[in-house]
Structure formats: structure tokens, C-alpha cells
Amino acid sequence: MKRPKTAAERKERVAEILRRLDRIYPAATCALLHGSPWELLVATILSAQCTDKRVNEVTPGLFAKYPTPADFAAVRPEVLAGDIRSTGFFNNKARSIVGAARKVVGEFGGKVPRTMEEMLSIPGAARKTANVVLGTAYGIASGVVVDTHVQRIGARLDLTKHTDPVKIEQDLMKIVPQEKWILFSHQMILHGRALCQARSPKCAECDLNSVCYAKDKTA
């Protein structure tokens, strides 16, 4: 596909990218193991600067020890930090999780809220975390999750010129239909892990190769 020049050509290129992502990752979903919106919120906070694999190794024991938001709200952050040490940045994460638990218990009746505005009032929940929880737990398409994979692939596919996650999200929300926001985020993240890696993208194996104009493409 030639580099599009008109708005119609750019729109068709995005539609083609979405079709190919649907073909490659038809059932993409969140890799973080969870049994409730609250558990997903905790897991997402833990996933900052940490692999999902590591988080999934920690959370089963963590949720067995602290089954409810009230249990997390009652624990001292320095105690919780010891339980999550292997995820890195454990002191900050412990403070965020305890703060989130107290907010959820104290203001939302123990239930993770369903609106972006309310989610953003929770300690440790910026837009990325809020979008993960609202999209995956509730099926609410409030925005596009922008993690490092989405940021990198969005730039490589020329879907955004920005480096700020908020501006990247705004760009993606304009060109990706809202009903695709949740799935699109998961597809991009999976693609970043499987093929479009930061240092050595596997371009020869990638079905998006012919619609990609990345300067760092490999042979």
C-alpha cells in the first residue's frame, strides 16, 4: 500500500490495519489474571514497570491473603510492600493500592466505579489504568489504553506524531472507531510482545509490514 495522501486514503489505510489486526488477534484480551474489577485494578497498578508474567505470579497469593478491598484498606503499606516486593517499586505501589482500597471502600461502597472521572480520583489510577479496568472489567470503551507497546507501534504505523500518552490516546480515539477501542488496545499490546518489539522488530513475519513505514524496519 502506497503512503496515503488524501483523508480518504488515510482512513482506508487505518481500516486495513484494523482488519489485519482482527485477523491476527481476533480474541485478544488482557493478560493480567483477575477475578473481579478490584483485582484487575490491583494487578494493573502492579504491572507498572513490571511484566504481566511476574504480576500473575504474585497476585494469586496476594488475593488469597487479602480477599477484599476492605482487607487491602486495613493493611499498612509497609506490610503490603513486602508482599509485592518482586514487582518492583513496591513502596510506591503499596501506598497506591492501600490508598485505592480506602477510596473504593470509603467512597464507592467497595465497588470499583464505572466512570473515567471517578476512576481518576483513585490513587494509582491514571488514564491507562482506568482504561484497562473500564474496558476489560466492564466493557466500557472510555478510551484507548496507551502503554509502551501502543506508544511504539502507534508511532511506527504513523498513527500518531506525539510522544505524550494523553496526546497519543487522543489521536487514536479520532481514527479508531469507539467500538474497537478495547480490542484495538489489546491487539496492539499483543503485537508489541509478539512481533513489533522495541529493539528487533520481526518485520518479515509481520502481516502489517506492507502498511508500515517505520524508519527502523528490519529486513
**CA atoms of 65 and 197, how far apart (whole Å):** 36
93 CB-near residues (< 8 Å, 6+ apart): 45, 46, 48, 81, 84, 87, 124
The yes-or-no answer on residue 128 being catalytic is yes
Task: Write b or e for each residue in 107-126: b if 16 or more Cβ atoms lie within 10 A of its Cβ, otherwise e.
Answer: ebeeebbeebebbeebebbe
The yes-or-no answer on residue 2 being catalytic is no
**CA atoms of 150 and 169, how far apart (whole Å):** 9
Task: Write b or e for each residue in 24-33: b if 16 or more Cβ atoms lie within 10 A of its Cβ, otherwise e.
Answer: bbeebebbbe
* DSSP state for residue 208 in the 8-state scheme: T
Q: Of 22, 52, 83, 147, which is the active-site residue?
A: 147
134 CB-near residues (< 8 Å, 6+ apart): 114, 115, 116, 119, 140, 141, 142
Name the residue among 184, 187, 217, 174 with its Cα closest to residue 11. Answer: 174
* Active-site annotation, residues: 128, 147
